[in-house]
Amino acid sequence: MQNFKQSEGLGRAKDFSIDSMKVSDLDGVLEIERSTFPSPWTKANFLFELAQNKCAHNFVVRCRDSGEVLGFSCVWVLFDELKINNIAIAKEQRERGLGKFLMEHVLEYGYRKGCDNATLEVRPSNGVAISMYRKFGFQVTGLRKSYYSDNGEDALFMSLDINEWVKHVDSI
């Protein structure tokens, strides 16, 4: 699927692609997952999402030349809601615009699937992620107390009206 707006600051977006995640991507995905999240998903979690969860839609951003997985996102389409479960970019690839590139793809995907809203949870301590989500128009709409099992940290519940977001995108 082509993005309907190229990310600014990405450099040469043609050097990267976003594809549906495959089992063969899991080594790269798990490496990013483990280095990013305090309570990482297991290989079994990803295999379930890929093979059994009919609501799940999983993506990887990769280098076109090498095929290396540089980031990933796992989302669910639940009726008219796009539930963003995780989005991560390899540490050495951050600050290149790949997170924005992937988020645009995910939101476009949700829009094309008929989703009106996008939701996610984020740690209040994750200022970098919160900043990116706010740039897309996500707003804090709730708090999930003691959400994270590793340390009992709360989660900010954030949501976005995808149709409003699309109005600010140059073209579809």
Q: Which strands, in side-by-side order, build the sheet including 117-122?
A: 16-20, 56-63, 69-78, 81-89, 117-122, 155-161, 139-144
Q: How far apart are CA 105 and CA 136, in angstroms?
A: 12
Which tokens hold the place of 117?
């809203």
Predicted confidence (pLDDT) per residue in 58-78, tens digit: 999 999 999 999 999 999 999
Given a cut of 90, whether residue 19 has pLDDT beyond it is yes
Please report where in the chains the tokens 């977001």 appear, as a residue: 165
Architecture of the domain spanning 13-167: 3-Layer(aba) Sandwich (3.40)
Least confident of 9-23, 46-60, 85-99, 147-161: 9-23
Q: Tokens 């990267």 identify what position?
A: 16
Q: What angle do CA 118, 121, 11 make, to 5 degrees?
A: 65
Cα–Cα distance measured from residue 172 to residue 89, given in angstroms and rounded to the nearest whole number: 25
- Please count the other Cβ atoms lying within 10 Å of the Cβ belonging to residue 99: 21
Residues identified as active-site? 121, 133
| Predicted confidence band of residue 13 (pLDDT cuts 50, 70, 90) | low
Tokens of 118: 């996008």
Q: Is the pLDDT of residue 5 over 80?
A: no
Closest CA to 6 of 14, 157, 79: 14
Domain parsing of the chain, residue ranges:
13-167
SS3 12: coil
Examine the pLDDT at 172 and tell me if it is beyond 50: no
For residue range 109-148, list pLDDT tens digits in order: 999 999 999 999 999 999 999 999 999 999 999 999 999 9
0.75 cut: is pTM over it? Answer: yes
